Amino acid sequence: MPPLAPLTLALYEPDIAPNAGAMLRTCACFAAEAAIIEPAGFVLTDSGLRRAGMDYLAALSIVRHASFARFEQWRATAGRRLALLTTKGETALWDFAFRPGDVVLVGRESAGVPDSVHAVADARLRIPIAPPLRSLNVAVAAALALGEARRQLDGPSPAGWR
C-alpha cells in the first residue's frame, strides 16, 4: 500500500479547548499531522482538549509553534503550501486542487486570522453554505477540508481504512 500523502492541519491561536481537541482527533482519523500556533487561549493540557481528543491524541504528531513567525519559518523551510479556510475565501473548497504536503490553516473561533496571515496564504478557501448563514463551527470546517483533501489525494477509501 503506498503511503498516504502528508497533510497538516494548523490551528491559529485556538481559543476553545474542546474544538481544538475535536480537530486533533480529526487529524488522527485522517492521518494528518497537526500544528498549533501559539498563543492558545487555554492551557494545552486542558481537560476539555483531552476529553474531545480522547485516546486519539496518542496516534498523532503535534508540533507547537511559539508564534506565527516561527510557523512561517518552518513552512518556508519545508516548502509547504498554505491553504487558509476563511469565510472571505475566493475559492470554494471543492474547486481547490490539493497537493501532497499542503497545510490547511484554521483561525481562532472568536476572530479568525489577521489580514497579515490572509496575505501570506497561498490559497484562501471558503466552504459554501446556505444563505443567510455565516459560517460552520471551526472543527466541522476543518473536518470537511481534511476529508476533501484526503479524497483528492488518496481516493475515496484508502486501502485498509474502514
d(CA 16, CA 118): 21
Q: What is the pLDDT of residue 121?
A: 98
d(CA 13, CA 41): 7
Bridge partners, residue 9, by sequence: 34, 104
Q: What is the pLDDT of residue 12?
A: 98
Q: What is the pLDDT of residue 42?
A: 78
Name, in order, each residue with C-beta under 8 angstroms of 8's C-beta and a sequence gap of 6 or more: 32, 33, 34, 35, 80, 102, 103, 104
Question: How far is C-alpha 85 from the geometric centre of its chain's CA atoms?
Answer: 8
pLDDT, block means (10 residues), the chain with 162 residues? 75 92 91 93 69 72 94 95 96 97 95 96 97 94 96 79 70
The length of the chain is: 162
Chain position carrying cell 490551528: 11
- What's the CATH number for 8-154? 3.40.1280.10
